[in-house]
Amino acid sequence: PLMNVAFLTAGGNAPCLSASIGRLIWNYSGKDIDVEMIGYLHGYKGLLTGKSISISQDVMDNSEVLYEFGGSPFGNSRVKLTNADDCVKNGYIEEGADPLKIAADQLIKDNITILHTIGGDDTHTAAGKLVRYLSENGHNLTVVGLPKTVDNDVFPIQQTLGAWTAAEQGAIFFENVANENTTSSRQLIIHEIMGRNCGWLTAATALEYRRRLDNRKFLPSILITKECWDVDAVYIPEMEIDISREAERLKKRMNEKDSVNIFLSEGAGIDSIVLEMESRGAKMKRDAFGNIRLDEINPGQWFAKQFEKKIESDKVLVQKSGYFARSAKPNKKDLGLIFQSADLAVECAIDGKSGVVGLDEDQNNQLTCIEFDRIRGGKPFNPHIEWFQSMLKEIGQE
């Protein structure tokens, strides 16, 4: 019998979308089954508006090209299927329509038997609802998701796809930016890293950056000292930041080495920032998921303002590595996990088993197909983890 397989990537970019699609296509092309494949354009938006692209033979023959690209071969969008008002506002559905029903009807119309979703927790919560909705209406759809987010913040998944690469790319980004410490005396550089509620990426980027720093040669008899290039502070949402205490500590660092480098998670200290801004009468803009839009707040600039005078810096630079890091192609380590995950996803799909393929923390981090109702977002980073604590000790931030 003919199998109709559809793919959909949703949410922001992560260094795994194209490669995951490539590996899924490679798997289906190599099987001795009659299969037709399509990709919905721009995630759930394409599913609601009925826009898709069919996967031709040349794509099947050259699917490994996708391992070399970041981004998604079908495009992404941030659409919350359960937020009907937002779907109407964006013109994806008519007033009064149910987005879940429209998405389900499109899958039925396209005769889809297997859907692969690649996204974060919101993507998969919606996918789970689609499976339920269709089975309640007498249609059998198998949905097998792959977990992508550079934040690495999905329960119960130990390591989401693309996060390792994002940390490495953030480190590479800062290797160049760090050289800016030579453009001025008493230079404060803030490296703002993605992570609204979870500090994993910021912590992992700092770790990777310092690991790479250990492999470089310096010339301490002139201004090229390791200390100037090192990290002086790592701020994440899971930790309280005592601004005045930190200012005192960082001022000492500034006096000693003439520069300060801060790795800041964009969600760190967000409550104090919002509180301070709202007390001045500022109105906060929110996205379709009800999250405060961080680009409106500019956490890096806010922290720069807090520290600039207190540590007597002559020059301040705030740089964000987010788009640079999240749109990279996957590194070797990620590619290994992507291949294993996609291979298992296809096996599960052919067996008619729905869920999200990931390293299951409830099963000793085994790669399994995790039931949709166990998938949740907002998993915090554990700041008490040994490698993070020893890094904080090394940089003098207790």
Using only C-alpha atoms, the chain has a radius of gyration, in whole angstroms, of 23
Distances (CA, A) of 225 to 172, 181, 387: 18, 11, 24
**Alpha carbons 297 and 49: distance in angstroms, whole number:** 33
Which residue bears the tokens 């119309």?
109
The structure tokens listed for 9 are 């990537």
Closest CA to 332 of 60, 118, 27, 19: 19
151 catalytic? Reply is yes
Q: Which segments within the chain are labelled E, that is strand?
A: 3-9, 35-40, 52-54, 114-119, 142-147, 187-193, 233-235, 259-265, 315-320, 355-360, 366-370
Structural contact between residues 357 and 148, judged by C-beta atoms closer than 8 angstroms: no
Buried/exposed 275-305: b ≥16 CB within 10 Å, e otherwise: eebeeeeeeeeeebeeebebeebbbbebbbe
Query: Tokens at residue 289, please?
Result: 């998921």
For residue 156, whether the previous peptide bond is cis, meaning omega lies within 30 degrees of 0, is yes
Q: Which position among 122, 151, 153, 232 bears the catalytic label?
A: 151
The residues near 117 (Cβ < 8 Å, ≥ 6 apart) are 8, 9, 10, 123, 124, 127, 143, 144, 145, 146
Which positions are catalytic? Answer: 151
